Structure formats: structure tokens, C-alpha cells
């Protein structure tokens, strides 16, 4: 996997010491998420659409209905900004100014390509389900030709972008450390609760083993 080279649009400008361009850091942040925010332009207006995504190697994927305005715009190969962010904590300092948040984020630039070949599209959708729930794809009612046709899958190379990460303690002004107020970090996590069976599921079904641990999606168990 190739590390990224900072460019005019991807170089982290503010607090550049928080920036990273190595592939491993970027991939780890991407893999710890489910929802991205895709930025694109229609008629000089920016739009930011939240959508599910997944990564395979050096490519990102996202998908949806072939009727989606976002997908129909982005599949034309327009410039996209693809952002993923995780809130990791609230950082309470001795001054309002030094309050912060702990986070991990990735911002990527590029153009997406529509997967036209139906077999390749089906393989991509299988990868998505298997990424979420390893072993589930073969348990499902198989996809129909019509369903695959009605789905658009986009792919974008991870070529240009950056990660930005803040961790750790508040950074107070030296004179402020003696100020009489509590300071520290309140960690935040995305947590899954117990699976809730569909009301139309017969009650002989136990939740499948692949739901027991969703840490690969950045989700902790309670």
C-alpha cells in the first residue's frame, strides 16, 4: 500500500502536527467506520450526503439506489471530497479556549467510478456484506438480477488525502494548570447493544456469532 503525498488541497494546514499521510493510519481510520460524508457539487451548490461505505485494498466503495441524486451526480466522475470522522472524546481544559475534542478523521479527494459490470458489482456487494458480517452473504436469499441492476456501486482510489487525529490530554497554558477546575477527558465510543430480533422472526433463532464482535466496524460491545 502506497503512502499518500500531501498536495495543495490535502495538506493539513491548521495544527499540521495532527496530520498524517501514511496508508496504514488512513486505512485504520476508514476501517473503524460505517458512515462517510460525501461532498459534491450540483450547480455550484455543495452537498454533503452521509452514506455507508467500505474499503478494499486501495479503494473505497459506496452504493445505493440507481435513482439516488448523489450517486447519479458522483458517477459522472466529478470531484468528490470523502470524509470520515470519529468522535473519541471531550477534552476539558482550564480555559474555554483550550477545550477540544479527541477525534480521528480522514479527508480524501478524487473522482469515483461506477462499477458497470454486473458480476463485478455483485462481487463488490458480497464484499460489503462480508466486511460487515463475515459469513452472512451465503446465508441470505441470493441477490436477483433486478436487485443488482437497481443498485449503483461506486469506487474511488485512495490516492490523495490526509488523516487528522487528536488524542490525549488538554493542552493548557502553563500558568493555567493551577486554576481550580476539573480538567481531563471524557472518552466517547460507538457501542452496540444486544441484537433485537425482527418481530416476524420465529423465536427459535439465536443471533448469529458474527454479531458478537463488531469491533472491526469500530463498534464496541456494551
For the bound state, the minimum distance from the C-beta of residue 106 to a copy of itself, rounded and expressed in Å, comes to: 10
CB of 153 to a copy of itself, least distance (A): 12
48: helix, strand or coil: strand
Q: Which is nearer to a copy of itself, 1 or 9 (CB)?
A: 9
Sheet holding 113-114, edge to edge: 19-20, 160-166, 100-111, 79-92, 35-42, 45-56, 59-65, 151-157, 113-114
Looking at the Cβ atoms of 1 and 166, the one nearer to a copy of itself is: 166
Burial 130-167 (b: 16+ CB within 10 A, else e): ebbbeeebeeeeeeeeeeeeebbbbbbebbbbbbbbbe
Nearer to a copy of itself, 1 or 11 (CB): 11
Minimal distance, residue 23 CB to a copy of itself, in Å? 21
Identity of the residue, 27 or 101, whose beta carbon is nearer to a copy of itself in the bound complex: 101
**C-beta neighbour count of 61 within 10 angstroms:** 20
CB of 129 vs a copy of itself, minimal distance in Å: 5
Amino acid at each position: 500500500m502506497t503512502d499518500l503525498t500531501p498536495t495543495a488541497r490535502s495538506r493539513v494546514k491548521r495544527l499540521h502536527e495532527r496530520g498524517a499521510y501514511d496508508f496504514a493510519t488512513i486505512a485504520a481510520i476508514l476501517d473503524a467506520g460505517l458512515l462517510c460524508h460525501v461532498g459534491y457539487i450540483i450547480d455550484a451548490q455543495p452537498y454533503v450526503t452521509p452514506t455507508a461505505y467500505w474499503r478494499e485494498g486501495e479503494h473505497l466503495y459506496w452504493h445505493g439506489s440507481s435513482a439516488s441524486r448523489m450517486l447519479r451526480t458522483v458517477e459522472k466522475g466529478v470531484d468528490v471530497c470523502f470524509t470520515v470522522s470519529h468522535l473519541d472524546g471531550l477534552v476539558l481544559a482550564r480555559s474555554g479556549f483550550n477545550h477540544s475534542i479527541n477525534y480521528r478523521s480522514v479527508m480524501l479527494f478524487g473522482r469515483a467510478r461506477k462499477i458497470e459490470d454486473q458480476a463485478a458489482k455483485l462481487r463488490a456487494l458480497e464484499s460489503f456484506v462480508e466486511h460487515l458480517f463475515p459469513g452472512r452473504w451465503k446465508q441470505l436469499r441470493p441477490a436477483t438480477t433486478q436487485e443488482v441492476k437497481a443498485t449503483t456501486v461506486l469506487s474511488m482510489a485512495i490516492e490523495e488525502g490526509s488523516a487528522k487525529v487528536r488524542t490525549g490530554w488538554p493542552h493548557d497554558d502553563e500558568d493555567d494548570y493551577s486554576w481550580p477546575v476539573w480538567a481531563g477527558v471524557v472518552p466517547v465510543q460507538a457501542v452496540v447493544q444486544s441484537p433485537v430480533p425482527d418481530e416476524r422472526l420465529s423465536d427459535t433463532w439465536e443471533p448469529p456469532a458474527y454479531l458478537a464482535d463488531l469491533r472491526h466496524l469500530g463498534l464496541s460491545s456494551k
